[in-house]
Structure 1
């Protein structure tokens, strides 16, 4: 492809990927974006492939992650976007490198594209400082038939299928880009490629059954979205007001239960940061939560910031508060994957040289060590906090530990509705992946329930105070994805490495043959 065509194709690839994700949600464009990048990088030198991949990455990640600059300034957003774009630069270089394999067998483009995308995401999900899995292809497929594949191989299998669909579009629609090729090209070939790819995408997903993994009891669960006095980084400057909002909303729910207009919940879920005052050390905060729990007559899973264990350290926790008994310290989950440069600052002295904004993180959050398995009376919860929902193993560990209901406690007060909807898309994938009902509880929205087939119900508005109650059927079985764990990603990433090695061998033979 001429460079004058490849450059805009790479940019369009990033924009197509962007529009596939919430809040736009045009999921069929994800394979189109994959195909455009693969076409642009095909047969290019490594540096050119990397440059085109980087263009795609910037066009994709800069607007996708624009919510990170709402209250922290442009520098964190720019640095994060460029870092994520660098991984697509690696993907572009890898795509260029394996071109000889695709040239030997045109339909190899589909599996090659699939395994390279999985390999890129596997690397990006883990590096640096634990990785940042936002923007995985799988998370764009909330309304797509391919979401069903999550029950068999989790996010890696869904990403693989989306990228394979993109490879099929490319293989079916590719044509020669010299003058003779352009003159002889037929208009129907790209159209046929798009049609075949769309049919394959729909057929593959629609044939996969999804639903709850096993049966269980029925419980009534309430989500309390108390809202905050104002959005932004200073939302917790009025910590007492945030706590009061959630306590008052729970008391209002209790009043509706008392007059018979609302069923009594078996469990109430408050979001992350519902109490930024440590309720285990502050008697007034503890008393406020106890009042809410005792009045509603049900345990409350409280998102709280706890001081310690050391000086200058805090913990982001979900703690079960039982009516009449108070905090159950045996049912305490501490966030295992704090966000670097947001909840703790690695290499602080070096980071300060880049921006003194890092000193806004005054106390480092200490990670927990145990999965978020919380036993709350009639239901065992799989609790994860905020961005942890993006990490495969953090969620899976709760299910293998016995979780019957997935709970995502989050605080979106420093972001916007686009970020909240992107996060809810991840919850949808996790529900299908593990065959579990799930919910997301946010301070400001979007909160809501997700069925084991990925359907969302009772979704709240953004920056509003709302309480939603729903009856859920628990699940206690295991899907194929839960059983196999990391193996689909290991196998597919291994095949990506094998493809790179195979291309190296083929390139060497071609050089020897031409010598």
Structure 2
């Protein structure tokens, strides 16, 4: 873990914790995105010139309160889950703090620091157990001047720009604080001026990025939010209750259309888990879905838990349901959530944590992307937390998805801030891929997001609702789609090389001193 910096548990640790809380406030539901810049600047200042151990401690003191506040919604699962996940995520900030301290000895340290933020997120998004991307700087900047940069290099480029701006702000504070006065002469002003210009470019450069929004064609969609009996872990309530809610809301829409009160949609989208029973094995569920889909008369994307491929597993699927032929193409969620949808090391952990017995069957991961033909629309389906992982929406768009669909069930975390955080991620994906994003949620927040990331319409939480909209279908790909993860790996590689360079320079200095 390292040791506290000079002065023990005092001022340095308190400042780091305060900066971490400031970063949490940059995220939804607070959306104070400028604080992401301030927090990065604070961490840069607090680790500058420290030893690696002191920097690591500072990073941990920054990261723990950050994740505790950001992930407060995990408490509905249990205090142990909330504390455990926050501690695990804070360890990545522990490593970042040490790396920032190490590279602060190099010239150009704000650049290396920004690259290290990307490297930290790269690892945290993938490890352990598939990673957990919550808390990326990019996700605090889904409606800021940095946002359009996502169309060029995805979320990692947004993170880099935010981190670079914050690091340069830290550099300027340090520069003037050390001198105690303005720089003397033209030469003295050169570096601060360059830092200001670079920060201004990083902040405003995104405003120069064109965001294409016009579609090659349009489709009229209806998003159905049937609601749940109660929020929390036991949101499903009585068997078939959630399914009946979505069927009833769909049939009510059909009645309004028949009365001339609303326009007929081309397609309908139900959320994840909108059928709480496997329609392939439960005749009543199959009949209820078919009845609702026939009432509206258009292809409907249904979310359901399906048994298989063996007795120990279930699959989380989006199923295209035709009013005439019934179920057809389907997408199986590729990235199940550990401890929520499957239990790692099940034979051991089930004996220790009895609450895990709620996860009776592990979710089996799908192998393919979510591109499916839904009526006239070639959709790209992603399910719930998958929207947080760069590669899943990107692969879906590159495979031909013309509009992104996010089927989600956030009923467990209703009114906790988590639905707002996931909505922000979807806004970034819209800009990143130049696609409209349609969020269908069991209990909210359902939303229609334009390709420029603006919200056309959204629902409230814990109410039955329906959204209808004409959305563009687009074929063009953004630069971010074309380059994929290359910018992320390149920036992270630069940060790691800077660490290696700092180690070598430090060893040479030690030898010279000896």
TM exceeding 0.5: yes
- CA distances 1:357-413 after superposition (whole Å, capped 9, x unpaired): 222211110001001111112111110000000111111111111100100011111
Equivalent positions of 1:27-66 (< 5 A) are: 27-66=33-72
- CA distances 1:97-135 after superposition (whole Å, capped 9, x unpaired): 11211xxx3xx1321121000000000001001000011
Partner of 1:445: 444
Q: Say which SS state the counterpart of residue 237 (structure 2) adopts.
A: helix
Task: Determine whether 1:281 maps to 2:287.
Answer: no
Partner of 1:163: 163
Q: CA deviation at 1:89?
A: 0.4
Q: Say which SS state the counterpart of residue 443 (structure 2) adopts.
A: coil
Matches of 1:90 and 1:505 in 2, distance apart?
Answer: 19
Q: CA deviation at 1:416?
A: 2.7
Partner of 1:427: 426
Matches of 1:84 and 1:65 in 2, distance apart?
Answer: 10
Partner of 1:363: 361
Equivalent of residue 414 in structure 1, options 409, 412, 434: 412
Matches of 1:355 and 1:500 in 2, distance apart?
Answer: 40
Task: Determine whether 1:216 maps to 2:222.
Answer: no
Partner of 1:334: 332
Q: CA deviation at 1:198?
A: 7.2
Partner of 1:381: 379
Q: CA deviation at 1:234?
A: 1.1
Asked whether the 8 Å contact 1:6–1:41 carries over to 2, the reply is: no
- CA distances 1:419-448 after superposition (whole Å, capped 9, x unpaired): 001001110111111100111111111110
Q: Say which SS state the counterpart of residue 285 (structure 1) adopts.
A: helix
Task: Determine whether 1:17 maps to 2:57.
Answer: no
Matches of 2:425 and 2:505 in 1, distance apart?
Answer: 39
Matches of 1:354 and 1:115 in 2, distance apart?
Answer: 40
Asked whether the 8 Å contact 2:232–2:414 carries over to 1, the reply is: no
Asked whether the 8 Å contact 1:412–1:445 carries over to 2, the reply is: yes
Asked whether the 8 Å contact 2:298–2:375 carries over to 1, the reply is: no
Q: Which blocks of at least 5 consecutive residues in structure 1 are unaligned?
A: none
Matches of 2:498 and 2:239 in 1, distance apart?
Answer: 53
The TM-score, its normalising length taken from structure 1, stands at 0.93
Asked whether the 8 Å contact 2:150–2:480 carries over to 1, the reply is: yes
Matches of 1:353 and 1:498 in 2, distance apart?
Answer: 44
Partner of 2:172: 172
Q: Say which SS state the counterpart of residue 105 (structure 2) adopts.
A: helix
Task: Determine whether 1:395 maps to 2:393.
Answer: yes
Matches of 1:235 and 1:494 in 2, distance apart?
Answer: 44
Instruction: Choose 199-208 or 455-464, whichever is displaced more.
Output: 199-208
Task: Determine whether 1:83 maps to 2:85.
Answer: no
Matches of 1:266 and 1:112 in 2, distance apart?
Answer: 50
Asked whether the 8 Å contact 1:166–1:197 carries over to 2, the reply is: no
Equivalent positions of 1:78-227 (< 5 A) are: 78-101=83-106, 105=107, 108-175=108-175, 181=178, 184-185=180-181, 199-212=200-213, 215-227=215-227
- CA distances 1:65-95 after superposition (whole Å, capped 9, x unpaired): 111111x220111100000001000000111
Asked whether the 8 Å contact 1:169–1:197 carries over to 2, the reply is: no
Matches of 2:374 and 2:95 in 1, distance apart?
Answer: 45
Q: CA deviation at 1:202?
A: 4.1
- CA distances 1:9-32 after superposition (whole Å, capped 9, x unpaired): 211221111011000001111011
Asked whether the 8 Å contact 1:318–1:333 carries over to 2, the reply is: yes
Asked whether the 8 Å contact 1:109–1:168 carries over to 2, the reply is: no
Asked whether the 8 Å contact 1:273–1:304 carries over to 2, the reply is: yes
Matches of 2:425 and 2:335 in 1, distance apart?
Answer: 16
Instruction: Choose 351-360 or 191-200, whichever is displaced more.
Output: 191-200
Q: Say which SS state the counterpart of residue 90 (structure 2) adopts.
A: helix
Q: Which blocks of at least 5 consecutive residues in structure 2 are unaligned?
A: 184-188
Partner of 2:464: 465
Asked whether the 8 Å contact 2:265–2:468 carries over to 1, the reply is: yes
Asked whether the 8 Å contact 2:165–2:203 carries over to 1, the reply is: no
Matches of 1:457 and 1:193 in 2, distance apart?
Answer: 40
Matches of 1:265 and 1:482 in 2, distance apart?
Answer: 29
The TM-score, its normalising length taken from structure 2, stands at 0.94
Q: CA deviation at 1:199?
A: 4.2
Asked whether the 8 Å contact 1:170–1:193 carries over to 2, the reply is: no
Q: How many residues align?
A: 500
Matches of 2:116 and 2:239 in 1, distance apart?
Answer: 46
- In the TM superposition, structure 1's runs of 4+ consecutive aligned residues that sit over 6 Å from their partners are 191-198
Q: CA deviation at 1:415?
A: 0.5
